Amino acid sequence: MFGAVWRVTLGSLVCLATLVAQEAAIRVQTKLVEAPVSVTSPDGRFVEGLTARDFRVLDDGVERHITADVFDGGAARISLVIAIQTSAVPALALETIRRIGGMIQPLVIGRRGEAAVVTFDSEIAWVRDFTGNPVAIRQAVENVEKGSPLEAHLYDAVAAAADRLRDRDGRKVLLLISDDRDRGSSAKLDDAVDAVERAGIEVFAAHYAPNVSAWGSKPKGPDAIRALTEATGGRDYPFMKEGGIEKAIEDFGVEIHSQYILSFPQGADSAGRHQIVVAAPNRGGVRLRWRQAYWTDEPK
């Protein structure tokens, strides 16, 4: 009798040990790095139909085993922050910006995604927290008002968006609708880049000419926008005329839905910044954009 009880108890212990081991294995496997990658042909079209075998990923110089997914293939939902500059905005630009709210859900985030809207001038103001309601998103953008003309805290807005996105599940994306200059932020450009890299955010932008007299002319090279987008694998879609921002949002949506989501186990044991390099060695002539780095905390 006692032997039977012992056998049951021993079996239970074996099962418990197995479950603990499986749970530990699952915890290790969940430490994945996701790297959205845009692949375009020499004529600028997005390349479809690639698989994990077409890519090579180096993590601090070490090749990693990867999996590949696409947005429409069941990849994690998108959390999008739309950051709109309300200072020094040409009236025509602001009028066109207000029209793009209804494009966000169908063209960018899809039915499973959520978007939040924040404005910035001399202050950072959250107009709408994350919602998947397309009407709420449209109304939040439509109701954006012109703000203080003297300052545009672009870097502070990026840092605030990174903080709001940091703990969101799935893909994290920031869309900047602004000119190409920061005026008055307490944060610096390096701080802004650091914030989005640490939070695993892709930065895209639709920037415009910074004053009424320049509206309709070609904007100068946006160094800050370029630094933010290139570091995170995003892209800038400048618009220079009425209707241009609608085309920018359309192109932005196409790119988001055309990206490959490459995932690999986090292999670095040390804390800090880790460099990612992505190649498609057997696809000559294609151009790739990807997040340049990910960060790890001190091991616990």
Vertex 218: Cα angle to 159 and 191 (nearest 5): 15
Q: If we measure between CA atoms, which residue out of 242, 155, 226 comes closest to residue 194?
A: 155
Domain 31-300 matching CATH 3.40.50.300: the answer reads: no
Instruction: Give the helix/strand (H/E) hosting 97.
Output: helix 91-97
Question: Percentage helix, strand, coil, to 5, in the chain?
Answer: 40, 30, 35
Beta strand pairing status for 56-59 and 272-279?
antiparallel
d(CA 255, CA 273): 26
Residue 217: what pLDDT? 45
Residue 298: what pLDDT? 60
Residue 211: what pLDDT? 47
Beta strand pairing status for 201-207 and 114-120?
unpaired
Residue 268: what pLDDT? 58
Query: pTM value?
Result: 0.85
Digits of tens for pLDDT over the chain (300 positions)?
Answer: 444 443 444 444 444 445 444 444 444 444 789 999 999 999 999 999 999 999 999 999 999 999 999 866 556 799 999 999 999 887 778 888 999 999 999 999 999 999 999 999 999 999 999 999 999 999 999 999 998 888 999 999 999 999 999 999 999 999 999 988 899 999 999 999 999 999 999 999 998 755 444 444 444 445 899 999 999 999 999 887 666 889 999 999 999 999 999 999 987 567 899 999 999 999 989 999 999 999 988 654
